[in-house]
């Protein structure tokens, strides 16, 4: 769906008029383009000590123009602030002000990324699950680490020109160049994270292998996507297929025609199936095994809404939403893990929602189901880790879909602007986050929920 206002203020006269009237001036986001550089300019690495040095050296392997000083760098494509050895709140002042001194050099679509460690028991919200520490941290260390969260999220709200700010949290014992750390950095620096801002990814382990080909990180892998006939699900299937995966696309029989068309487009397997079927997990696994021999990635995208104020909610609306959005995922996961044919290092990616984090008027059933998904993902993480895999969730905010197109025009415009990027996301933004979590780039990332919301400013 077209954002007419974004089209208008993307022109010189429109942008000038919006500026004079004090109106939001969103810009088109820098999204993934295989022909474009990873970042739109030099990468400045701020921070002292061996951690910053090691990250700078690792980035050189990606043919980036890595700088340790801003002088003479011109427009910066990204700034990395390395704070993994922070031990007291006072130690944050110098690096924070150094970051502030170079923000005006950040190019449109640039990136700010912090690399720090979590405060156990506090975390950074629903975006990350903080591993428990072997021993309690001194209060000053925990305070300093959590202060980075406030710094980063405030910077994200100050940026303009489509720039974003996100953080990577290194669990204790994880070094700055562990595979999962570099994978997270690559995702957050790239155009694949265009609608992710103010978020943190926690890397909880040191094992894993980064993709040999960053444009085909799922080469040789088999993925199943539910709710794939249209919208976000169809885009997820396209994105995974473009990344090298062989795909099984799943949707209800009523969506058989668009499902078949998508399968033909992607040379995929189409499976007409209601995810509430008591044998849905077994049937998905059987379809993948019959065609490809195994199944490596499952994306639980199927979902419905039946909105009503709770005072007007009936049993059918409540039960149907919980059945599709949550109970089906629980049952399918049990069957997938109990069955034969799940590949090595399996990955499950679930679709949650910012409604499940902050709540939403008229969506008590939907918000409950999506909050349940977040809880399920956190609890199921050890089960997947025992298989060498991971389960994570993506929580979209306002995304331009057929569903949001039905929102009354005035409310739709307000919803688009209530995030730091001042616009709605696109289905491809959700798909790129799913791809990241489904690939080896997310090594050590498990049990987490990544918000793809442009740093929505409402609620939690």
Q: Which member of 5, 187, 366, 398 is catalytic?
A: 366
Q: Are strands 43-46 and 222-226 parallel, antiparallel or unpaired?
A: unpaired
Q: What is the band of 32 on the pLDDT scale with cuts at 50, 70, 90?
A: very high
Percent of the chain at pLDDT > 90 equals 80
**To which residue do tokens 């956190």 refer?**
378
Active site residue 5: no
Q: Is the pLDDT of residue 128 over 90?
A: no
The SS3 of residue 426 is coil
Q: Looking at domain 31-203, does it have CATH number 3.20.20.80?
A: no
pLDDT of 11 over the 80 cut: no
Domain spans in the chain, listed from the N-terminal domain onward: 31-203, 222-452
Query: Same topology for domains 31-203 and 222-452, yes or no?
Result: yes
Reported as a single tens digit per residue, the pLDDT across 381-405 is: 999 999 999 999 999 998 988 777 6
> Cβ(164)–Cβ(194) under 8 Å?
yes
Strand, helix or coil for residue 32: coil
pLDDT band at residue 127 under the 50/70/90 scheme? very low
79, containing H or E segment: strand 76-82
| pLDDT for position 184 | 98
User: Which one, of 350, 346, 349, lies nearest residue 386 by Cα?
Assistant: 346
Cα–Cα distance, 152 to 157 (Å, whole number): 9
pLDDT digits (tens, 9 = 90+) for 96-122: 999 999 999 999 999 999 999 999 877
pLDDT digits (tens, 9 = 90+) for 60-75: 999 999 999 999 989 9
CATH 3.40.50.20 given to domain 222-452: no
For the whole model, what pTM was predicted?
Answer: 0.94
Q: What are the tens digits of pLDDT across the range 404-448?
A: 767 777 777 777 888 999 999 999 999 999 999 999 999 999 999
Q: Which H/E stretch holds residue 19?
A: helix 12-21
**15-54 burial by CB neighbour count: b if 16+ within 10 A, else e?**
beebeeeebebbbebbbbeeeeebbbbbbbbbbeeebbeb
């Amino acid at each position: 769906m077209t954002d007419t206002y974004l089209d208008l203020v993307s022109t010189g006269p429109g942008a000038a008029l919006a500026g004079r009237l004090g109106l939001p001036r969103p810009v088109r986001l820098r999204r993934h383009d295989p022909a474009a550089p990873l970042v739109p300019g030099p990468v400045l690495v701020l921070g002292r000590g061996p951690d910053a040095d090691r990250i700078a050296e690792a980035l050189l392997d990606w043919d980036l123009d890595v700088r340790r000083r801003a002088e003479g760098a011109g427009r910066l494509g990204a700034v990395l602030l390395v704070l993994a050895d922070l031990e007291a709140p006072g130690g944050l002042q110098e690096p924070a002000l150094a970051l502030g001194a170079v923000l005006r050099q950040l190019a449109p679509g640039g990136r700010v990324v912090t690399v720090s460690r979590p405060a156990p028991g506090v975390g950074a919200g629903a975006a990350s699950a903080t591993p428990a520490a072997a021993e309690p941290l001194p209060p000053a260390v925990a305070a300093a680490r959590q202060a980075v969260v406030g710094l980063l999220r405030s910077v994200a709200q100050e940026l303009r020109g489509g720039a974003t700010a996100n953080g990577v949290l290194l669990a204790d014992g994880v070094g700055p160049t562990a595979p999962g750390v570099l994978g997270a950095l690559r995702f957050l620096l790239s155009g694949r994270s265009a609608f992710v801002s103010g978020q943190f990814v926690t890397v909880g382990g040191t094992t894993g292998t980064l993709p040999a080909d960053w444009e085909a990180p799922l080469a040789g892998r088999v993925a199943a996507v539910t709710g794939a006939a249209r919208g976000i699900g169809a885009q997820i299937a396209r994105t995974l297929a473009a990344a090298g995966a062989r795909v099984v696309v799943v949707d209800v029989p009523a969506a058989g025609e668009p499902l078949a068309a998508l399968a033909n487009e992607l040379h995929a397997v189409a499976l007409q199936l209601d995810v509430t079927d008591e044998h849905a997990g077994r049937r998905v696994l059987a379809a993948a095994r019959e065609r490809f021999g195994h199944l490596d990635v499952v994306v639980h995208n199927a979902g419905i809404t039946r909105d009503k104020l709770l005072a007007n909610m009936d049993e059918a609306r409540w039960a149907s939403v919980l059945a599709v959005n949550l109970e089906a995922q629980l049952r399918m996961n049990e069957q997938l893990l109990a069955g034969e044919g799940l590949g090595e290092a399996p990955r499950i990616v679930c679709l949650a929602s910012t409604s499940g984090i902050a709540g939403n008027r008229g969506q008590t059933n939907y918000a409950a189901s999506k909050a349940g998904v977040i809880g399920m993902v956190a609890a199921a993480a050890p089960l997947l880790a025992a298989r060498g895999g991971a389960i994570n969730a993506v929580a979209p905010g306002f995304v331009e879909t057929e569903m949001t197109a039905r929102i009354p025009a005035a409310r739709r415009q307000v919803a688009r602007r209530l995030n730091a990027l001042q616009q709605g996301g696109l289905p491809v933004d959700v798909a790129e986050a799913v791809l990241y979590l489904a690939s080896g780039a997310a090594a050590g990332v498990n049990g987490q929920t990544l918000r793809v919301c442009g740093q929505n400013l409402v609620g939690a």
